[in-house]
Copies of this chain bind each other. A is one copy, B any other.
């Protein structure tokens, strides 16, 4: 398998290539606090291992294999964070550093167990998606309802933080997966949204709620 160091390069490459799809040696160097020549060397090594496409003076692009491996590390990181918060009583601000270390543990069983105990979550409580065991996350296109604008037409795709309380709240308002929602207006002061769906012609949703609803735009 890969060294701890390589895993950190993979994670950084994955994170930084989110938007453009590629990363410059310079950005990677800054993000990792590692000097550029070291990064160049490492990229050659990782290219040999088919983790990244590397050509002199060209932007770095993760291979399919590299993306998958990165996603699996991120999976371990997010599962750990969630486990620490939900099952051990840590605060969110405390868990990042611990997860940063535990994500490198080599034990499929450990993370399978965490996933099981957390009921196979697809999103962490911040709405950040958790890659599955194959490193897949098709959800890529989802956004939070709270990030949509008036006039947008969206379809309910997933719910973050599925507590009983919250699910009951959604049931009472007949909000369910697949539901088509139109955003009528957004209150600029507290970001409360007024939305329309089915026979609910004017339903008001707080920002707290909107941040927990993941939708697909169309």
Q: Which residues of A contact B (CB under 8 A)?
A: 84, 87-90, 94, 97-98, 101-102, 105-107, 109-110, 113-114, 117
Contacts and interface: CB of A to CB of B under 8 A. Distances in A.
A62 to B, nearest CB: 26
Which applies to chain A's interface (DSSP): helix, strand, loop or mixed?
helix
B113 A90 contact: yes
A101 B101 CA distance: 10
19 contacts: A84-B110, A87-B87, A88-B113, A88-B114, A88-B117, A89-B113, A90-B109, A90-B113, A94-B109, A97-B107, A98-B105, A98-B107, A98-B109, A98-B110, A101-B105, A101-B106, A101-B107, A102-B102, A102-B105
Nearest to A83: B88
Given A87-B87, A98-B105, 16 more contacts: A84-B110, A88-B114, A88-B117, A89-B113, A90-B109, A90-B113, A94-B109, A97-B107, A98-B107, A98-B109, A98-B110, A101-B105, A101-B106, A101-B107, A102-B102, A102-B105
